[in-house]
Structures are given as structure tokens and as C-alpha cells.
Amino acid sequence: MPNKVSLRRLKLADFRNYQTLSLDLDGRHVVLTGANGAGKTNLMEAVSFLSPGRGLRRASYADVTREGAPGGFTVFAEIEGMEGSVEIGTGTDGGDEGQVRRLRLNGTPARSVDELTDHLRVVWLTPSMDGLFTGPSAERRRFLDRLVLSLDPEHGRRAADFEKAMRGRNRLLSEPRPDQNWLTALERQMAELAIATSLARAELVGLMAGLVEATRDDQAFPSAAMSLSGFLDGEWHRPAYDIEEHYIAMLRDGRYRDAAAGRTLEGPHRSDLLIRHREKDMEAARCSTGEQKALLVGLIMAHAGLVANMTGHAPVLLLDEIAAHLDEARRAALFDRVHALGGQAFMTGTDRAMFEALGDRAEFLTVSNGTVSGAVTS
């Protein structure tokens, strides 16, 4: 049974529509109900800032900071985490886009927000992800990289470094007489980062496949078959060094073509995550809207289980508007699976009645115009 990670206190200042907020939580699941626009998702977004990155909306810091606030935003949490009790404070000094996000752990400045993964992992599912299967490949890559990041905190840095090196190569190729030695050095750096990034993605896909196979008897939600395509297809059986050298040769031979295109045409930035409905052996994009929602829920829950198994600690789950498109039986099955995971989940909805199956496993809070009240047990 994975160890539980839970928020015991959450304080916000100048975050979205919250001027100030202080919540004491008892470690159970948290259900946030209220009208649309009340601030339910904003509160969930604040919790998502307890992980590296820009939160579940991927918003700029200027957008996150409350309109009219004199400075930046602050998120503070007391966590029973992976290394025991910890106080986490994060935020910015000002609302401008150029502001830097800062992190303090137990009052001490942290070197990087990546240190958050030493204390908790956060996994989320939001309505904006409903178009994952039918949207552009960039959205699926971003989704996959978020899954990898939950297990490999260095993945985000590798992907960012690859993008930086690729932009440098693109600029060089746009010059009339680019420095060939500098191009070679950038291409070698790109190859090292590209192969490491792609192998991390492939490892995650393989781990997910194994977990899905082990739990395929659970019929509450359909299972997903995942694979990668679009970058060095058919080459991944070879040693990593050989694949790197192969990609370096591709980059070298493709310089004139990439210069003409104004971009790098081969790389992990062109790969795609292919997803199929296992039971129907059908591409997820061709499934009905209801099947796609159930497939996505099953995929997120499988990943949450993988995080729990790999780290020994259940992740904090953020499930925004989770009950709206599930029937009563699937809602009950989902709540049972969330609880069996062994962690703490935050869930939102407009109708409290949709969460009654949780019973006393959750505390119910009402959100209204940037205020939270209730703390009523069901």
C-alpha cells in the first residue's frame, strides 16, 4: 500500500480571484462545489503549483496574479509529504511576465522548483484535456511529458535544453555562412538530449502498458494501448550511442533542407503519442465522446497508480469537473478507485449530489466568489 501524501493547510494570497484564503484540511479527499466561475478550478490550480511548471492551465504568472494586486501571488501549503512534514511556499514578487517563480521549503530558499518532487507528486485531469485524442500532436507530447515528469524530474530540463539547442541550430542555419564547427557541436548536443528525452518517453509508455495489462480485468473504465511514432521509427532496438550517431548524421545531412524550411524537420519535437481503445482495438480519436472521456479517466488513474508504485507514495490527484460526464455507476467506480489509490484527491463540480458516493471519505467545501466555506462531512 503506497504511503499517503496530503495537504493539511493551504493559504493563498492574490491568486486568481482569491485575495486571501486559508484552509485547514483533515487529510481526506476534498470536494469543491459551487457555481461556474466561483473559483473552484482556481483553487485546484493553486494546488498544481506545488509541482514544477506553470500549473494545470500552463498560465503566465501575470494571468495567475489577482487583477489589481500590488505584487505577485503566493501559494503556501503544509504537507504530510514523501519526506515527512514540510511547509512549502511558492510565488512571484510581481505580476509581470518577466517575474521569476520562487520556492521556499520550511522557510529556506530552494535551488529549483524541481525540489518539489522530493515531497509530493501532483497528477491532474481537467476538461481542457478532453480533446487530447483528436487535437494536434503537440498536445499529446505535452501530455506525455507531464506524465514522464511525474516520475523523472529531470525530464523537463532535458526537453527544454533540446529546444534551446535546436533554436540555436535554426538561427545558425539562417545565416549565409554558418559556422560548421558550431553546428556540429549543437547537433551533437541535440542528439544526446533527443535520445534521452525519447527513451524516457518510451520507458513511461512501456511501464504504463505493463500496468494496464496487469489491471485489465477492471472493467469500470476502458484501457489504453499507447505507442510512439514520428521520430526514428524502427531504430529503438539499437544501443543508445548508435541511435545518437544515426540522428547526428540525419541532422548533418538535413542542414540544407532544414535551412530552406526554417526549422528542424526531424526530432523528438515531431513525435506523436498514439492511443487506442484496447478492448475495441480502435483508435481513440474514432471513439465516441463518452468513450474518450472514460478512456482518459482510465489513463490518468493508471498513471497515478504507476506513480504510487514507482515512488512508494500516492500522488495528490486534481480531478476538475470529473463527475459531469460520467454515469452514476462509473462515478462510484471512480471514487472507489481514487480512494483505493491511497492518497488525497481534490475534485470539483457544480452539484454536490454527484459526489454522494464518496460518503465520509471526503470533506465537502462550498466555493463562492473567491471564498470557501462548509467543511461539512457527508
Task: State the CB neighbour count (10 A cutoff) for residue 347.
Answer: 27
Flag whether 3 is in a domain: yes
pLDDT at 99: 76
DSSP string, 201-267: HHHHHHHHHHHHHHTTT--SS--EEEEEESSSTT-TTS-HHHHHHHHHHHHHHTHHHHHHHTS--SS
Encoded amino acid at 372, one letter: V
What's the domain count of the chain?
1
pLDDT at 361: 96
Q: Dump pLDDT digits (tens) for 252-294.
A: 999 999 999 999 999 999 999 999 999 899 999 999 988 999 9
Which is more confident, 228 or 97? 228
- Least Cα distance to 356 among 373, 375, 334, 378 occurs for 378
Residue 100 phi, psi (nearest 5): -100, 135
Average pLDDT for the chain: 92
DSSP string, 222-237: --EEEEEESSSTT-TT
pLDDT at 138: 95
Burial 310-336 (b: 16+ CB within 10 A, else e): ebebbbbbbbbbbbebbeeebbebbbe
pLDDT band, residue 71 (cuts 50/70/90)? confident
Flag whether 276 is in a domain: no
The residue-averaged pLDDT of 175-184 equals 95
Query: 95 pLDDT exceeds 70?
Result: no
pLDDT at 217: 62
pLDDT band, residue 46 (cuts 50/70/90)? very high
Domain carrying residue 45: 1-121+313-378
Query: 376 pLDDT exceeds 60?
Result: no
Flag whether 131 is in a domain: no
pLDDT band, residue 377 (cuts 50/70/90)? very low
- Least Cα distance to 49 among 74, 67, 23 occurs for 74
Share of the chain above pLDDT 90, in %: 82
The pTM is what? 0.92
Which is more confident, 374 or 222? 222
CATH assignment at residue 327: 3.40.50.300
Task: State the Cα–Cα distance between residues 255 and 166, nearest whole angstrom.
Answer: 12
The residue-averaged pLDDT of 17-43 equals 95
Query: 21 pLDDT exceeds 60?
Result: yes
pLDDT band, residue 211 (cuts 50/70/90)? confident
Flag whether 278 is in a domain: no
User: At 162, is the secondary structure helix, strand, or coil?
Assistant: helix
Q: Dump pLDDT digits (tens) for 322-363.
A: 988 888 888 999 999 999 999 999 999 999 999 999 999 999
pLDDT at 378: 31
Joined together, the cell numbers standing for residue 138 give 503537440
pLDDT band, residue 221 (cuts 50/70/90)? confident
pLDDT band, residue 43 (cuts 50/70/90)? very high
Flag whether 272 is in a domain: no
Sheet with 108-109, edge to edge strand ranges: 18-24, 6-15, 74-81, 84-91, 102-105, 108-109
Residue 166 phi, psi (nearest 5): -65, -40
pLDDT band, residue 207 (cuts 50/70/90)? very high
| Residue linked to cell 547537433 | 187
Flag whether 199 is in a domain: no
Flag whether 150 is in a domain: no
Flag whether 246 is in a domain: no
